Structure 1
Amino acid sequence: MQSIYHRIEELIKERGMTKKAFCQQLGISTGNFGDWKRGKTTPGTNKLIEIASFFDASLDWIMLGRDVQGEVLKESQDPYFFGASGQLNCQGEPLSEAERNFILEYIEFTRFRKEKNQRNSTMG
């Protein structure tokens, strides 16, 4: 069974990057990356979201190694994943407007950072 590290490593190879370049672009220390490889630690939730966004990959695949069944969520959809009920299926209470705005701002931030990193990697 593949680990999160191995799936991330596969994405890095598919992108044609070095592990060092990947770590630099996403602000990951090589020590932390090595800990992921040894199974000592795993990336935190925010870092996993950032990695999934960077590679345009499914969190399900990165975390569990399985493809998403059914409809795939895309960042370009509006109103993203809140749907008519205003909440995720796994959440007991509806998200507040402030929580929704925070999540949407974070998504925009990761998109901006990804684009900036891609521009910087092609320039340097």
Structure 2
Amino acid sequence: MTLGNKIQELRKNKYLSQEAFAEVLGVTRQSVSKWELDQSYPAIEKLVEIADFFGISLDELLREQGKSINTSESEIQTINSTRFNREDNTVSTVGNTDKITISKEIVWYFIGWAVMMIIVILLFGLQYYFAGFLVIQVFIWTTVIWKIYRYIKSKSSKAEHLS
């Protein structure tokens, strides 16, 4: 049963016309008609008002009949005990203070460092690869490139938050 059908059925069970129901919600009769025909959907605030008016939960209003969530107890336990924090890219489990840091930036840093080392080997041969100053140079340049990348990324993320 669609949302529109459910709204229509609930309205008819209360013996309300579309016009009377629209008046209760503060919308036009045409809006109610469009909802019932599934041509448009009510705004979230109106969904709350509709559910309250008919004395049902939003879940009952929105869920299709016969559909239920089939989740085993162990799946619920796993979902409830694992948390992912988008702010600092960490995964933690409830009751466990250990955190596993998942940072793409660190991985890309080491990939960049390895690529720079391969370039040095290809350009200058193995004798310079083992020379300490080239290894240090590669490390320094990788760090500089990394800092530039972080600076650009922080500026772009600030610009996204402002827009």
Query: So what's the TM-score if we normalise by structure 2?
Result: 0.37
Output the TM-score relative to the length of structure 1.
0.48
- More relative contact order, 1 or 2 (CA 8 Å, 6+ apart): 1
* Higher relative strand content: 2
The higher radius of gyration belongs to: 2
